[in-house]
Amino acid sequence: MKKVYTHENLTMLQTAKGLLENSGVDCFVKNEFHASGGHVGLESVPLELWVHNSADAETAISLLESELSEQSDKPAWICSKCKEENDGSFETCWKCQTENAATEQAS
């Protein structure tokens, strides 16, 4: 087993996990259900993504670097329904789950 990714946001970590699983990499999240909700005093407990097979670590890291860097390059967008600002990596509004109009038009 080997750790390949950490993030303080569970949604981002689950996104990374989905990318790996869709590519056939067997992985799991550590500290997802930490009793303190990820925080201990002033310190936070890191949410971690691990691969079961250490031999998959380099492939996993490479996939995550290429996919997540592409997502971070997308501009933020405003939801057409609730007017909430969303990170460019989100295809649906985090608040009301309406799809990004630009994503719908591209399909």
Q: Quote the domain boundaries for residue 78.
A: 74-107
Q: Which comes out higher in pLDDT, residue 57 or 94?
A: 57
Task: Single out the residue of 59, 38, 54 nearest to residue 3, CA to CA.
Answer: 54
Same domain, 1 and 37: yes
Same domain, 18 and 33: yes
| Count of structural domains, the chain | 2
Instruction: Provide the pLDDT for residue 58.
Output: 96
Q: What is the CATH number of the domain that holds 61?
A: 3.30.70.1530
Instruction: Provide the pLDDT for residue 59.
Output: 95
Sign of the CA dihedral running 21, 68, 90, 15 = positive
Q: Is 100 helix (H, G, I), strand (E, B) or coil?
A: coil
Residue 79, token pair as written in the block: 């939801």
Same domain, 47 and 84: no
Residue 68, token pair as written in the block: 């997540």
What pLDDT digit, counting tens, does each position of 72-86 carry? Answer: 567 888 999 999 988
End-to-end alpha carbon distance in the chain: 38
Same domain, 28 and 80: no
What pLDDT digit, counting tens, does each position of 13-24 carry? Answer: 888 999 999 999
Is residue 42 scored above 70 in pLDDT?
no
Instruction: Provide the pLDDT for residue 73.
Output: 64
Same domain, 36 and 86: no
Same domain, 27 and 52: yes
